[in-house]
Amino acid sequence: DGGITQSPKYLFRKEGQNVTLSCEQNLNHDAMYWYRQDPGQGLRLIYYSQIVNDFQKGDIAEGYSVSREKKESFPLTVTSAQKNPTAFYLCASRNTGNSNQPQHFGDGTRLSIL
Amino acid sequence: EDKVVQSPLSLVVHEGDTVTLNCSYEVTNFRSLLWYKQEKKAPTFLFMLTSSGIEKKSGRLSSILDKKELFSILNITATQTGDSAVYLCAAVTSGTYKYIFGTGTRLKVLA
């Protein structure tokens, strides 16, 4: 089945540690996105990529980094510079060839601090 | 600053009731408005609205957009416990296709 796979489902980070969240899609979508969801704040855009080897900062990029070396994959690294990383992280993708296609989401990764 | 505001923040109803969820937006270069349903994990797509006044319908759910007054509503008739979820709306900007999300409305339907 086509879809977006995020892993792991749950992740714990120690102080000063970098962690990487995986996002893989087999929908052949060009565009991919990372959002952070906190209680009562909706989804906020961290980074997005419209094409391989290119990505742009979203509204809350500080303390995060991404790469887009393959069309299918858009990993997100939460660095030690991100002082409040506890949140639910959602990855999404979209078919840019059709402007009426919505973003589709993965099941998310819940990150907590130890 | 672009923003999307949803109301109410939460709502508790009984099965069979009809509910109306509201979404207002202030977005430069507005292109379209989307509704998603989020139960535990991934938001799932419900509707995309681009034109004013044209109702979109799927079963017991319907939605409409008013581009003059800058709002949209999502109606759910004959609610069921399976409708319990957070309903998110997002305004999409032209060009970058950036999504600006509201905080969501948490709906709980009691049996």
The CA-CA-CA angle for residues A49, A50, A52, to 5°, reads 75
d(CA B76, CA A31): 31
Residues of A in contact with B42 (CB under 8 A): 4, 90, 105-108
pLDDT at A1 over 70: no
User: B68-84: per-residue pLDDT in tens?
Assistant: 999 999 999 999 999 99
The alpha carbon of residue A79 is apart from the nearest alpha carbon of chain B, in Å, by: 24
* Whether B42 and A42 lie within 8 Å, measured CB to CB: no
User: A41-50: per-residue pLDDT in tens?
Assistant: 789 999 999 9
Give the pLDDT confidence score for residue A40 in this predicted structure: 76
**Dihedral over Cα of B38, B39, B41, B45: its sign:** negative
* Whether A42 and B44 lie within 8 Å, measured CB to CB: no
* Strand-pair partners of B86: B38, B106
Model confidence band, residue A18 (pLDDT cutoffs 50, 70, 90): very high
Nearest CA in chain B to A40: B103
pLDDT at A12 over 70: yes
